[in-house]
């Protein structure tokens, strides 16, 4: 049985406490991950703090050379890393490669570090006085990341933190931990000094140790909203900066003037890709007016065409859910929806895959006539369930979305520029797609929702990520000529 260790100061570190890591496609235990707590976190902090003393003084050229090398290693090992992710998460290998690509884009963004960290200079703000500013790293920072993107979400964090001169401790999900260790080894091959990137595995004891350790300056988190609130409250109470991204209930609005085949095709992929285990998954389709019946007809056909199977099997569109508990929770939600009055148009429950009967599979489910009062609408199901809500107008659809407590992502399918402009101006959501179902922004923009999808005010990666992991300094200078007399006054200084 393989044991997955911590990675601290450039070496594998084991420990006595472990828990199983499953293959979701077979339902069998395939490895055990070591669980850390306060002592392992403290060891990682000590290693990171020691490494920070020299890494903060490294040149921009040195850091970007490491990032260029790391980026190339991600390209060269994409297939291997994708299969590691698929074996522990369950998503298809193609989907895993996709998340690696999107994470690699953040590395490419910070390869331009010399530009994004440029300060400004103001000459002669007063006679003989100049002002300039620059940004410096915080110190030791940490990231706590979810199971659904074991490569991409951490890559939203640590390349930005490390490139700006910080040292980093990653606490990945214990459900699919191997990707974190693999990436740690790629960093080492890329020339990153030991201690700059560390991995501590574990559950709540490890999380609490990170949130309260006095040696950690900032914490980044992506996960459910209740835990995001806990992370934000606990870490800020201990004097830390916090990025805390929470849950979502993402709506795709379809107007009658939309190309319904196009819309249904993309909504199907957005709803059932990665088995719906995405914080940007389309979980609600809002069918407006005359679009409803035809849209349901097309979505039904497309849901039935989704090929479900093991993630490493060619041609698979959707793999299993990550755990048995997740499978049971999602299938129970479909049953509850039926009892509450929803029409189960496509029922994915009870799916068995030949040769993988013990895997955590459930098929795509499509629910029609869902209302805002039903659990299937209110709860973040995090599975392959698409709920259809019918609305009479675009304005009614906007009001529905704005009343939802989440505000992560949304999409509008239309051929009307006026409708698109009205939608994007009036919707209370942080990331919007127009004829784009999953509007995850490129790495040179920042990712973050509104309302209960973002706790606090710090989005992730892009310019906001640079600001989060650095603090500014403003320097006012005067260089008088030798023997020049410069008078000093007791009044508050002013420019002149």
Query: Which residues belong to the active site?
Result: 279
Question: For 56-202, where are the alpha helices, taking DSSP H only?
Answer: 60-76, 78-89, 93-110, 113-116, 152-163, 178-189
DSSP H or E stretch at residue 17: none
Q: 3-class DSSP state for residue 133?
A: strand
Q: Which residues contact 470 (CB under 8 A, 6 or more apart)?
A: 117, 135, 136, 137, 138, 164, 165
> Which 8-state DSSP code applies to residue 430?
S
State the Rg of the chain over Cα. Answer: 25
CA 331 to chain CA mean position, Å: 25
Which residues lie closer than 8 Å to 467 by C-beta, 6 or more apart?
135
Say how many C-beta atoms besides its own lie within 10 A of residue 53's C-beta. Answer: 11
Q: How many Å apart are CA 307 and CA 219, to the nearest integer?
A: 39
| SS3 call for 54 | helix
CB 171 within 8 A of CB 45: no
479 burial level (CB within 10 Å; 0-12, 13-18, 19+): exposed
Structure tokens at 33: 């991950």
At residue 469, what are phi and psi to the nearest 5 degrees?
-90, 5
- 342 contacts 376 by C-beta, under 8 angstroms: yes
Question: Rounded CA gap, 405 and 409, in Å?
Answer: 12
The answer to whether 448 and 454 have CB atoms below 8 angstroms apart is yes
């Amino acid at each position: 049985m393989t044991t997955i260790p911590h990675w601290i100061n450039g070496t594998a570190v084991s420990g006595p406490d472990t828990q199983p890591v499953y293959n979701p496609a077979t339902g069998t235990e395939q490895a055990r991950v070591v669980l850390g707590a306060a002592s392992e976190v403290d060891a990682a902090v000590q290693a990171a703090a020691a490494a920070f003393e020299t890494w903060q003084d490294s040149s921009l050229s040195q850091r970007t050379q490491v990032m260029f090398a790391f980026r190339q290693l991600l390209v060269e090992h994409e297939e291997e890393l994708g299969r590691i992710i698929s074996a522990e998460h369950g998503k298809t290998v193609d989907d895993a490669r996709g998340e690696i690509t999107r994470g690699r884009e953040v590395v490419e963004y910070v390869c331009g570090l010399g530009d994004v960290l440029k300060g400004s200079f103001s000459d002669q703000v007063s006679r003989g006085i100049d002002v300039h500013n620059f940004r410096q790293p915080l110190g030791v920072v940490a990231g706590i990341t979810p199971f659904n993107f074991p490569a991409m979400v951490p890559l939203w964090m640590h390349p930005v933190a490390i490139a700006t001169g910080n040292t980093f401790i990653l606490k990945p999900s214990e459900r699919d931990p191997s990707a974190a260790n693999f990436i740690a080894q790629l960093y080492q091959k890329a020339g990153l000094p030991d201690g700059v990137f560390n991995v501590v595995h574990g559950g709540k004891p490890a999380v609490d140790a990170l949130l309260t350790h006095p040696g950690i300056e900032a914490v980044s988190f992506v996960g459910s909203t209740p835990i995001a609130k806990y992370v934000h409250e606990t870490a800020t109470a201990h004097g830390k900066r916090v990025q805390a991204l929470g849950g979502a209930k993402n709506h795709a609005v379809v107007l009658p003037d939309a190309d319904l085949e196009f819309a249904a095709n993309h909504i199907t992929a957005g709803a059932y890709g990665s088995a719906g285990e995405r914080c940007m998954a389309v979980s609600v389709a809002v069918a407006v007016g005359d679009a409803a019946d035809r849209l349901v007809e097309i979505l039904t056909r497309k849901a039935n065409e989704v090929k479900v199977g093991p993630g490493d099997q060619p041609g698979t569109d959707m793999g299993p859910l990550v755990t048995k508990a997740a499978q049971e929770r999602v299938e129970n939600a479909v049953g509850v929806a039926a009892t509450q009055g929803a029409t189960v148009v496509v029922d994915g429950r009870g799916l068995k895959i030949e040769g993988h009967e013990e895997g955590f599979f459930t098929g795509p489910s499509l629910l029609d006539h869902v209302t805002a009062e039903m659990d299937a609408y209110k709860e973040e199901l995090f599975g392959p369930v698409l709920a259809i809500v019918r609305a009479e107008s675009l304005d009614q659809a906007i009001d529905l979305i704005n009343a939802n407590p989440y505000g992560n992502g949304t999409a509008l399918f239309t051929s009307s520029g006026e409708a698109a402009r009205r939608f994007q101006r009036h919707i209370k959501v942080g990331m919007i797609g127009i004829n784009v179902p999953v509007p995850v922004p490129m790495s040179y923009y920042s990712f973050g929702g509104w309302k209960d999808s973002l706790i606090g005010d710090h989005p992730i990666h892009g310019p906001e990520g640079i600001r989060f992991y650095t603090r500014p300094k403003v320097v006012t200078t005067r260089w008088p000529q030798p023997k020049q007399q410069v008078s000093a006054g007791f009044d508050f200084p002013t420019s002149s």
